[in-house]
Amino acid sequence: METLDIQLGGRTYPLTLSPEEVDVVRAAAEAVEAQIAQLKSQYAISDRIDLMAMAALQIAVQARSESGSPAPPPAPGMTWPESQVEDLLQRIHAALER
């Protein structure tokens, strides 16, 4: 087993992985960080939790789309991912206010 420290959203997470998992997890962490950077540049969002949640959502939607499952349609007057981002932000803020 190997220990790998990955950075996600400005935090370090130590993981214990088999040697076969190291490259996959490292690449996945880099993809998440790239998605977070892209979201930061596109939207006026600075909250780390919001950015990580939205990055996770977009990666999950992309994976689902690539596997053949259709992505949900955007709300009227909005484009994807704007409608999903807005919905997710509202849900996150509602949960944080509880």
Each residue of 25-37: pLDDT tens digit? 898 888 888 888 8
- Give me the number of domains the chain comprises: 1
A 10 A CB-CB count for 19 gives 8
Percent of the chain with pLDDT over 90: 6
| Residue 17 CA from chain centroid, whole number | 21
Tell me what the mean pLDDT of segment 73-88 comes to: 58
- The predicted structure's pLDDT at residue 85: 64
Summarize the chain as % helix, strand, coil (round to 5).
60, 15, 25
| Domain interval for residue 39 | 2-96
Percent of the chain with pLDDT over 70: 67
- The predicted structure's pLDDT at residue 96: 60
Contacts of 11 (CB under 8 A, 6+ apart): 48
